[in-house]
């Protein structure tokens, strides 16, 4: 089922998500819905808080649309290693019609649980590393615009207020 994606400035997006303590059918349904919602919105990642569920669950797929999907599911993901720097343009399904360059790590190692409750480790660089950082930020109530300089963040807020007023 495609779920509604919450958009800035919804307060749920600023809340730290709770760890998943039991992986059950409700968890699996949430993940199926998140994947379907992400693909429908043509995104490369989605965190549970973006669909109004304050749990530490993310889905990512950085494969190209014409390729076979490669869905990554992470429950309670944590960084175990980060290195290097990257500065790439990012957008977000919860911040439509806005993109900006963001400082991130170039490489990351993430540990998480999969759907079977088994621990998995991902080593990532490039777009996948950025996607992990972006989605895990969502679990901590951080949006990519929170990484902008104070001046750029104020410009973003003004632009978003104007867009909201225009409907």
Catalytic residues: 135
| 147 annotated among ligand-binding-site residues | no
Confirm if 43 and 12 have CB atoms less than 8 A apart: no
Indicate the Cα dihedral angle 108, 2, 18, 145, nearest 10°.
Answer: 50
| 81 annotated among ligand-binding-site residues | no
Confirm if 138 and 49 have CB atoms less than 8 A apart: yes
Tell me the C-alpha distance between 112 and 71, whole Å.
Answer: 14
- What is each CA distance from 91 to 42, 43, 126, in whole angstroms? 12, 9, 15
| 92 annotated among ligand-binding-site residues | yes
Q: Which residues are annotated as a binding site for Fe cation?
A: 92, 134, 138
């Amino acid at each position: 089922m495609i779920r509604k994606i919450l958009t800035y400035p919804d307060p749920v997006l600023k809340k730290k998500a709770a760890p998943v303590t039991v992986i059950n059918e409700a968890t699996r349904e949430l993940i199926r819905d998140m994947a379907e919602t992400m693909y429908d919105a043509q995104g490369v990642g989605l965190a549970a808080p973006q669909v109004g569920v304050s749990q530490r669950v993310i889905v990512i797929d950085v494969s190209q649309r014409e390729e076979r999907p490669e869905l990554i599911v992470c429950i309670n993901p944590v960084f175990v290693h980060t290195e290097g720097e990257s500065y790439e343009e990012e957008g977000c399904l919860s911040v439509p019609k806005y993109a900006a360059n963001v400082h991130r790590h170039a490489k990351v190692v993430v540990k998480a649980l999969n759907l079977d409750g088994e621990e998995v480790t991902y080593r990532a660089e490039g777009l996948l590393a950025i996607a992990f950082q972006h989605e895990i930020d969502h679990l901590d109530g951080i949006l990519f615009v929170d990484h902008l300089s104070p001046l750029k963040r104020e410009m973003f807020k003004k632009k978003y207020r104007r867009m909201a007023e225009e409907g």
